[in-house]
Structure 1
Amino acid sequence: MSRPGPGGSGVGGDHTVVNRPLLDSPSDYLLAAVLAVTAVGSMLTWLIGQTAALITGGGWAPVSPGETFAVATRLPEHLGDPAAAWPVAARAHLPGPVGFAVATVLDLLLLATISVVVLRRLGGTQRRRGMASAAQITRVFSPAAVRAAGQRLRPTLQQPPARPRVSRWLRRLPSLIDRGGSRSADEIGLDEVSVDVGRADPGVHGTSQPVRLGIENSVLVLAAARQGKTSQVVIPWVTSWPGPVLVTSVRPDVLRATAALRAGNLAVLDLTGTTWPHALGWSPTTGCQEFDTARRRADLMITVGKQGHSDATNAVFFGTSATNLLAGWMHAAALTGRTMREVLTWALDEHDTTCVDLLRRHSGAAPGVAGMLDALYRSPAETRSNLFATVLTGLAPLLSPVAHTAFCPTGPGFDPAEFLRGAGSVYLIVPETHTAELAPMVSVFVDEIVRTATAFAATAPTGRLDPPLGLFLDEVANVAPLPKLPDLMSYAAGSGIFVAAVLQDLAQARQRWGRDGADMLWGAATCKLVLGGLTGDEPETISRLVGTYRERLTTTSRTPHGPTVSTSLADRQILTPEAVRTLDPAQRQGLLLHATTPPVITRMVRHYESPRAGEHAHSVEQTRPQPVTGHEASRARTGKAGAA
């Protein structure tokens, strides 16, 4: 048999002793059982007798524990008068049968209580090998830890709350003077500096302390379908986020459950054929008076578009020229007050050179762009045809009437800077069956918000957005597959941008960004949150990435010459693939992997089970969609999104 020895987790920290059984035959075990029963019975008899004497005022009975074995053997003959079974010298101190009955009940209750406490304490000190200890969880994920980090990351939180009630202000006046008017860490709300990841699983870690994830992290969420990623992760995090949020999804669940709970302006870009209040419109030509902006957006649109059309082999070869062609069109449209509607018109007719003439006549045109476009139009017919076909991979979303309305507004459209300043909420909803063709436009919109936020952060005194921007990118590989998402995950947190990228599995990442890109994405995320239900090679991959612990095995055996002891080392998996696959959705389990901390298994709370369940239900009732009509959608998207 084996038993775990003392030691912490990690290399060389676990010790298992394997011994030959101490008892050789059934008769040995029987003898041991008899001795154990005798010892326990004697001690219990002595304890009951002494308790009976004390509670009835008889004082301490002059009987040693060793003498009570004989007492125990005589008790069956004296059940009507238990004192008669005791030595004569002790009988004067002992009560009648009622006193013994009361003492027996009290002692059994006391022993039961002590047993429960001891077992709980022993169980509380146990944790699965290789998993984070209570101290390690406290150091990184405790409320105190995230508050301390939050004071540094969000210095504005140290300012006293605005307009406190007079009575509260008077009570706090001495402490405010001592701190120069600043707020202490304990006064900072947890939702202002972290997101909730539930509580540590006590069966794994020996503690059920809260687990919070600070805003300085970037998170990669891996969750198979119907495992609770929306209800356990996205909805609770969006609800509590202290700053502006951008949410992507293939269904309106997050919008409906959180819209009424979010402060600030609300804007919805729904490409499923449904309209909501505060529908937004935004043109990719906005700001393209600067040719660098036009080329950057064109490059992103075509790069994402080509990913969704892997069979278009010529698109790879003509990528650079196609980017220049689309950038020239967007530059011309922006300079002359046109929209993506005209850009699409030019893309559908390779003989329409209107844009060249517009650029040649406009004084603000970037040098050489008109000549570049003219040269592309004069390319051989086959080359020109391939260029236009490549451009259309990025413009394909505009062929959808709903997307055309959203990205070709007739008014000023959505302003990312105003959205960030107002700590607003933007919801992007893309139909699951059309994510590939709509991805270029959705991606360029998300990229514009990220770039605007990064620019804001660069001019802030701390170099960070405060309050921070939350990017909750559900189904990111399909809805908004930013080519540089791995880079964004690595640097965004330093600018006050919290990224939570949600994938069904790593295979999605490999398909979209390639094997190297998927590895970069995994490495760039400071935290990974894994839910159950992963299939294929994913559980094995996660198990391998979680790592191993080293176990020292000490074996003791008997020989004719005496006992011998041997020691060996063995590497064990911290979590087996089966343990990863079977993370229990019924217990709301999630596996949290942090860059510098051993793994943590948490028990999360779904939004409809949380203390705010009623508020979420009210939000669902208040946020109702209506069927889209072309006139209403066009009118809704001619201006800026309204306030929620």
Structure 2
Amino acid sequence: MSSLGGRPRGSDMVFWAIALVVLANAVLFTMAWLGGTFGAMITGHGWHPPKWSLLSYWRLIRGETDTLWPGSSPFGVYFGMALFGVVLTTLIVLAGMKILGLRKRNEGLAKARDLRALAPAGIAKRARELRPSLAGMKDLAPDETGNLLGDLEPHGPELRSSFEDVELDLMAPRAGKSTGIAIPRVLRARGAVLLTSNKSDVYAVTRVEREQIGRVWTFDPQGIAHAPREMWWDMLADCATIEGARRLAGHFVASVNDDTTKKDFWISAAQNTLTALFLAASRGQASVSDLLGWLADPADRTPVDLLRDAQLHAMAEQLQGTVRGAVETRDGIYETARQCVACLLDPEILAWVTQDPYLPQFRPDQHVLGRDTLYLLSKDGGGSAAGVIAGLADSTMRAGVMAAERMGGRLDPPMTAVLDEAANVCRISDLPDLYSHLGSRGINVVTLLQSYKQGSRVWGEAGMDAMWGAATIKLLGAGLDDADFVEKVSKLIGQHDVSTISVSRSKDGSSRSTSYRQENVLPPDRIRAMPKGTALLLATGIRPAMIKLRPWFKEPDAARISAQAKQEVAAITERASAKLTVGTPPRPRMPAVPPGTPTHW
């Protein structure tokens, strides 16, 4: 006897069986109702569906198609039903397979509920806490709340990082670094922008748009975009202190040293000598050309005298000790120092860091307070201006830190620093250490590298590990072929339980059991084979997630920006052609040799 208010178990089964039969008949009748109407229409009798009722259902079962679709061919009606049923069934199966495939592919990764802090509502709340200027604003534009990362696969939502996050992105060439990260960040930035690159693609797409927001400064000493020189930067301005001079010397040393963590005697001594010379030139109001002259002639006592005049006696004695040392040692140190600043021997590069009364001076301390854009373009390899580029980038970010301290601790609006090709053209030796506090100052740094090993070659294993640990947002894109690194990432993502159903049969019947085993959420081969345009998101305190990047050319205003980019590319091509037309002076022709003159001596 059942308990009070209860119902026998068998009655539940009968109820659900009846409900299932009714639902199945309703679905089948709806498919036949629509399919028959479609068949009658394609046979020329128009779209005239019969009344959806039990009577129509009964007539359909009895085969009275002439009553339901008067004048239509029974063959056409049944053909429409069959065709409609096949198409609908195929669509349902494909949709089911797609949903199951997506669930299986993203099983173990973060879902939308895990990423609430990066979703629109969470990131808007965080932006109001970080930016006092947003107080009182009811509706915030999405770009005012954070930096766009992409859309959570497969169906969103849109994810953004906060203005105190610092980012490290690892992607192979042509995997979407420029189109999906660098260009969108520059276009969407609300404050000052700093961009380093060894190509002109980001510059061509973003320059016109940024020019409508603020002033555009283009530092292009090697003609990447063939931009005319319309500015100059006082390279020695920050060298008035020993710290500033040593930092600038370190940038030049890093530009020729493959691993800044490994410095032999000559590299270390060259950096000390450059530090003293930079300090003497800054305190003595000398030019970069004067500094190059001191390097060419170690016996020149001018830098020693300038250091003594500035009451920097210890530095003066150290420099004088280097000059008075053994000739072989002194020449080795000075030659190494000359190699570090060899790019300044190029008059085209030297002009950008030499005072010019006819051109405006770029002031990093003023740049970080506005909405201007600074493009730092340089080639990589021999003869590059990487040391100058790294010095200017570092000076600008340090100016941002000092401005943030004056503003109460954080820049508002925040500054965006996109260090594209950082391992080639922007080797800031202590960049891993800067990562630990730049975000808290309202300076959003995005470092783009081709691989983890590329960063390790520049900053060493310890430095790259420090940068990896300090980056609160990490994006891993397509084409990561470093087996050891991919294996570590796979372990970092973790494992999940996978169920296996086994059935055993015997003469007494069959039994079914379920067992569980641990598998990697993303095996190394799947990480390596990630398609272009997608990235693995590793955010501090959140489970890893798979996102889809948002390339600039798929955004609503892509047509207008694309037209501007085409005009900019045409202008770059025209400037390049003009330089080729001017060309270099022809080699002098040798005088004609009189007949009979011997040609071999």
Distance 1:519 1:58 in 2: 68
Q: What does residue range 1-400 of structure 1 map to in structure 2 within 5 Å?
A: 43=25, 79-80=63-64, 98=70, 123=99, 126=103, 128-137=106-115, 139-158=116-135, 182-184=136-138, 187-202=139-154, 207-262=155-210, 263-273=213-223, 275-277=226-228, 279-307=230-258, 316-360=264-308, 362=309, 364-400=310-346
SS across alignment from 2:151: strand
Q: CA deviation at 1:443?
A: 1.4
SS across alignment from 2:341: helix
Q: CA deviation at 1:609?
A: 3.0
Q: CA-to-partner distance for each residue in 1:69-113, whole Å, 9 max, x for gaps?
A: xx99xx6xx64579xxxxxxxxxxxx7665999999999989998
Q: CA deviation at 1:348?
A: 1.7
Q: CA deviation at 1:556?
A: 4.5
Q: 2:398 aligns with which of 451, 464, 471?
A: 451
Percentage identity across aligned positions?
A: 27
Q: Are 1:532 and 2:482 matched, yes or no?
A: no
Query: Which residue identity lines up with residue 133 of structure 2 in the other structure?
Result: T
SS across alignment from 2:257: helix
Q: 1:440 aligns with which of 387, 396, 421?
A: 387
Q: 1:309 to 1:245 in 2, by over 3 A?
A: closer
Distance 1:97 1:619 in 2: 59
TM-score by length of 2: 0.77
Distance 1:49 1:511 in 2: 65
C-alpha contact 1:267 1:278 (8 A) present in aligned 2: no
Q: Mark the runs of 5 or more structure 2 residues left unpaired by the alignment.
A: 1-20, 35-48, 583-601
Q: 1:600 to 1:349 in 2, by over 3 A?
A: same
Distance 2:334 2:28 in 1: 98
Distance 1:293 1:42 in 2: 79
Distance 1:289 1:474 in 2: 29
Quote the residue 1:423 is aligned against.
371
Query: Which residue identity lines up with residue 390 of structure 2 in the other structure?
Result: S
**Which has the higher mean CA deviation after the structures are superposed, 149-158 or 409-418?**
409-418
Distance 1:341 1:400 in 2: 11
SS across alignment from 2:156: coil
Q: 1:133 to 1:42 in 2, by over 3 A?
A: closer
**Which has the higher mean CA deviation after the structures are superposed, 398-407 or 495-504?**
398-407
Query: Which residue identity lines up with residue 595 of structure 1 in the other structure?
Result: T
Q: 1:136 to 1:121 in 2, by over 3 A?
A: farther
Q: CA deviation at 1:133?
A: 1.3
Distance 1:346 1:451 in 2: 28
C-alpha contact 2:32 2:81 (8 A) present in aligned 1: no
Q: 2:547 aligns with which of 590, 598, 602?
A: 602
Distance 2:91 2:117 in 1: 31
Distance 1:231 1:81 in 2: 58
C-alpha contact 1:309 1:393 (8 A) present in aligned 2: no
Q: CA deviation at 1:234?
A: 0.8
Q: 1:485 aligns with which of 411, 428, 431?
A: 431
Quote the residue 1:570 is aligned against.
517
Distance 1:316 1:249 in 2: 29
Q: CA deviation at 1:242?
A: 0.5
**Which has the higher mean CA deviation after the structures are superposed, 283-292 or 412-421?**
283-292
Q: Are 1:507 and 2:453 matched, yes or no?
A: yes
Query: Which residue identity lines up with residue 543 of structure 1 in the other structure?
Result: S
Q: 1:617 aligns with which of 546, 552, 562?
A: 562
Query: Which residue identity lines up with residue 409 of structure 1 in the other structure?
Result: Q
Q: Mark the runs of 5 or more structure 1 residues left unpaired by the alignment.
A: 1-38, 83-94, 159-181, 633-644
SS across alignment from 1:260: helix
Distance 1:45 1:133 in 2: 33
Q: CA-to-partner distance for each residue in 1:380-423, whole Å, 9 max, x for gaps?
A: 11221222133224312212332222223345832101111222
